[in-house]
Amino acid sequence: MTRSAAFFDLDKTVIAKSSTLAFGRPFFQGGLINRRAVLKGAYAQFVFSLAGADEVQMERMRAQITAMCTGWDVEVVHDIVRETLHTIVDPLVYAEAADLIEEHRAAGREIVIVSSSGAEMVEPIGEMLGVDRVVATRMVVAEGRYTGEIEYYAYGENKAASMRAVAAEMGYDLADCWAYSDSVTDLPMLTAVGHPTAVNPDRGLRRAAAERGWPVLTFDRPVALSARAYSPRTPIVTGAAVGVGAAVAGLAWYARRRALRLLAAAPAPAPPALRRRRRGA
């Protein structure tokens, strides 16, 4: 029997924020970036939350973050990300996305996250969600440190090419596969499958979805997985290289934990009832 899969973008599709931009404040509190960088990151997050990020913004973000990460120790980053993952990301997961992943899993489809964020962030998120495979950005590493060069950038047409490679390896029929994203920059990803869906789409993707008759979903309930009756299935298939966004996120939170280690974490509020609202473009 031919197998099929559901491919998910990450930011604003599975989680409620940009995983690369979410950690400006703790990064500043740890003394790793200056106030100007914090303000720029906060503004970028605000713009991203309203309208998404176009190609120019994505390229600018990529260049800034790779420059910032250059020289950082890879093993330290891996350890930090694993230690802080649930504090950072767990509360950001859309309940609707978790439900949709479960629906695809129940239908016998494999789950693949395809994200331009860093591999060492996306891979643990994938494990937390119980997905089968992750495709994510990877940076070049030499002598245990980031060089500032990108080995693979999971963006635009690269996402679609990786999906085709995964499909060939795993025996997926892409015509019988699903894909979900919020950004017009992911049109190659969405058009690669037979069942594309726009999730929280930016203006460009909303227009493209209307023109093509694609369904549109609105996800607006980030609820911690720990508050849900949710259990991951199996470890994911991952690569060993390190990516961009997780380095920023991990070191930022490590600095914050060192600075604020004597403070007790506030308990998370009880989540509201879960729901998913479907509407047209």
Q: How far apart are CA 137 and CA 158, in angstroms?
A: 10
CB 131 within 8 A of CB 115: no
Q: Which residues of 179-194 are buried (b: 16+ CB within 10 A; e: fewer)?
A: bbbbbbbbbebbebbe
What are the angstrom distances between the C-alpha of 249 and each of 24, 114, 178, 237, 278? 8, 18, 29, 22, 32
Cβ-in-10-Å burial (0-12, 13-18, 19+) of 266 comes to exposed
Known catalytic membership, residue 11: yes
Known catalytic membership, residue 90: no
Look up residue 96 and give its two tokens: 């609707």
Look up residue 113 and give its two tokens: 């996250």
Taking only Cα atoms into account, the Rg of the chain, rounded to an integer number of angstroms, comes to 18
Q: How far apart are CA 67 and CA 13, in angstroms?
A: 27
What is the helix (H) or strand (E) element at residue 238, kind and residue range? none
**Residues designated catalytic:** 9, 11
